[in-house]
Amino acid sequence: MKAVVVCICVCFCALFTSSLSANTLSIKVHSPDQSGLYIIGHTPPLSMDSPIELMRRGDNYQLSLWLPSTQTGQTIRYQLVTLNTANQPATQLGQAPDIVHEPIQGFRQTKLSGSHTQATHTFGVPDTINFDQVDKFTPAQLQADLAIVNTAFTQVHAGATRYLDDTQLAQLFSQTKQEFAKALSVKDAYLSFSKLAAGLRCGHTHTGMYNQSAFIDQLTLAPANKLPLLFQNIQDRWYITHNLSDKSIISPGTEIIAINNIEVATINAQLDPYWSVDGDNDARKRYLTQLLPTSSRQLFDAYFPLLLGPEKAGQDSGNTSYKLTLRLPNSGRQLIVDIDGLTLKQRQNVLYQQQPELADARNSLQFSTLQNNPIGYLKIGTFATYNIDFDWSEFYAQAFERFNSQSVEHLIIDIRGNGGGLDLPMLQLGQYLSSTVNQSLPFTPMRPFANIPEAIKPYLKTWDQRLYTQTSMAMPTLEPVAQTFTGKVWLLVDGANASATFMLAKHYQDAGIATIVGQPTGGNLRGINGGGMFFLTLPNTQIEIDIPIFKYLPTGVEATELQSISNQGLTPDILMPLQVNDIQQQKDGVLEQLVERINNL
């Protein structure tokens, strides 16, 4: 493998016959942050082993390729890459450099058209789908994919009838089949399968914005149709927390009344069928109907633009502006503001300029002492520690060493915004609070279907091949703790806590080792599904649906008793709702209230 510098100019192609000139592909890539950019592929002169270098022009990279063995209408697939030569000794120059792939899934693809084809990309951002070049899915294709989903839901999924009976499940598929009686665009197919997945009322079953095919990423991640602002949902009213647009009049606490003349109440109602929540958890739906300052992808960005974005407002597909009807804080004056949509990457860049600490996920795990040491504060923003270059075990050890050595009397553990992750860091945290807390857990996992139907195995993938045969979940090995914390523990929660963090909150409440404070959680007291996951990618539409294979049942509760349990998440011992004034003043009012409460004890 050897990097090749190639400059094939368009004028060179003019020396050939006009019939061959159709096979010229000019590529332009916006990439201000890269020091060198290359291309690989299967169509000569492209090769997967010999990267061809693009020429830099300011913030862009350009290359024109002559593709002699291709025809008009043919799709060319390629990948943009960089080369890692930082650790390559000078004596090894000429040896194969390490290829670093662009952080998107799959290949980029461009269809050759006319005498000359041009392709424009942004490095690290999937290309937007050109709907003019994508055929609609036929009823036969849609219904074939639907049959695969039916098999997955009824023979693999851990809890498809947990909150539905057999008749309701059959009706859900019947309604979707009726939608598939006609050809659908990729957008409409994606929305139909998303609504089908949400219809199970399982918080772990959704189309989502992770694990999708490169084709669907073009639909959900690529377009510049994302709102250039962040907001919190307080009792179904939307209040802006971060203005990431170029309109300086928008300040924190500004209320969104309508978008493109659609009132927020109507938007809430239209989004409602697409939210995957456990059972009837309204608090979780309200939490999902937000845009928060996080580096994680948010489901609102997938569904809102497709359901209620510019095209729904009668604009052409190239127009990504939104008309906001706003109510300014304090004065109550209403005004209308036009703002341009952004890509996810553009919005993220603006957010990181305002809050640089968000760019590093390790900053979501912090500890400190407050009020001259009597109060300890432990922020755990994620248990998905596999995504972070971070020694969480050492983090715990250092945090509790400080809390114990400084005689902290009250410990606030803040898991707001933490959607879950791995069981190991979640359970290990409990070891620092009680030596016996993990001896009895509030939910017991079971796997209803141990055998995967052969017919759908080609469409499933997972991170752990043992999940194809695993029938039980073993308790992870926990490290012993020399000294447990003996002070008072307060656990801050909110609607994000829908998986491992929901079970942690229920665990601590049942065991009496923490007072739960904040807003109602996600999850469901009757139990949730999760543990192990399959990612089902449908062969025709290329839409991916998450399929959980373990269901968690309340420990010691008979099946006949489940209906007597609340069909919601956990209600905190002390409710502390979000306040609009806190947004206006840009402060963490809930944390401040809790600290004041502790000081008044």
DSSP assignment of 192-207, as one string? HHHHHHHTT--TT---
Pairing state of beta strands 375-380 and 410-414?
A: parallel
Query: Amino acid identity, residue 426?
Result: M
Q: Is residue 82 part of a domain?
A: yes
What pLDDT was estimated at residue 86?
61
Neighbouring CB atoms inside 10 A of 461's CB total: 14
Q: Is residue 335 part of a domain?
A: no
Which residue ranges in the chain fall short of pLDDT 50? 1-2, 4-21, 90-91, 313-318
Query: Amino acid identity, residue 447?
Result: R
What pLDDT was estimated at residue 130?
73
Q: In this structure, what are the phi and psi dihedrals at residue 552, rounded to the nearest 5 degrees? A: -105, 120
**Residue 105 CB burial class (10 angstroms; 0-12, 13-18, ≥19):** middle
**Residue 262 CB burial class (10 angstroms; 0-12, 13-18, ≥19):** middle
Question: For 455-477, what is each residue's pLDDT tens digit?
Answer: 999 999 998 899 999 999 888 99
Q: In this structure, what are the phi and psi dihedrals at residue 121, rounded to the nearest 5 degrees? A: -135, 165
Contact 328, 335 (CB under 8 A): yes
Q: How many domains does the chain have?
A: 2
- The alpha-helical segments, DSSP class H, found in 457-526 are 500-511
Q: Domain span at residue 107?
A: 4-124
* Nearest Cα to Cα of residue 217 among 544, 554, 569, 509: 544
What pLDDT was estimated at residue 181?
98
Average pLDDT, the chain: 90
Question: How is residue 157 written in tokens?
Answer: 């999924």
- The alpha-helical segments, DSSP class H, found in 369-434 are 392-405, 423-431
Domain end residue (candidates: 124, 147, 176)? 124
What pLDDT was estimated at residue 111?
86
Q: Is residue 281 part of a domain?
A: no
What pLDDT was estimated at residue 387?
74
Q: Is residue 325 part of a domain?
A: no
Q: Is residue 142 part of a domain?
A: no
* Nearest Cα to Cα of residue 429 among 374, 371, 511: 511
Question: For 164-220, what is each residue's pLDDT tens digit?
Answer: 999 999 999 999 999 999 999 999 999 999 999 999 999 999 998 889 988 899 899
Query: Amino acid identity, residue 470?
Result: Q
If you count them, how many residues does the chain have? 601
Please state, in angstroms and rounded to a whole number, the distance separating the CA atoms of residues 22 and 187: 31
Query: Amino acid identity, residue 39?
Result: I
First to last CA, the chain: 69
What pLDDT was estimated at residue 19?
45
Instruction: List all residues 6 or more positions away from 72 whose beta carbon is below 8 Å from its beta carbon.
Output: 22, 23, 112, 113, 114
Task: Provide the CATH number for the domain around residue 501.
Answer: 3.90.226.10
Task: Provide the CATH number for the domain around residue 42.
Answer: 2.60.40.10
Contact 37, 123 (CB under 8 A): yes
Please state, in angstroms and rounded to a whole number, the distance separating the CA atoms of residues 213 and 282: 30
Domain end residue (candidates: 76, 97, 124)? 124
Q: Is residue 20 part of a domain?
A: yes
Q: Is residue 430 part of a domain?
A: yes
Please state, in angstroms and rounded to a whole number, the distance separating the CA atoms of residues 253 and 582: 8
Pairing state of beta strands 488-493 and 515-518?
A: parallel
Please state, in angstroms and rounded to a whole number, the distance separating the CA atoms of residues 84 and 401: 40
Please state, in angstroms and rounded to a whole number, the distance separating the CA atoms of residues 147 and 173: 9
Please compute, for residue 430, the number of CA atoms within 13 A of its CA located in the half-sphere on the CB side: 26
- E strands of 500-595, at which residues? 515-518, 529-537, 544-554, 574-575
Domain end residue (candidates: 124, 157, 175)? 124
What pLDDT was estimated at residue 491?
98
Peptide bond into 45 cis (omega under 30): yes
What pLDDT was estimated at residue 34?
80
Q: Is residue 162 part of a domain?
A: no
> Which run of H or of E encompasses 264?
helix 264-271
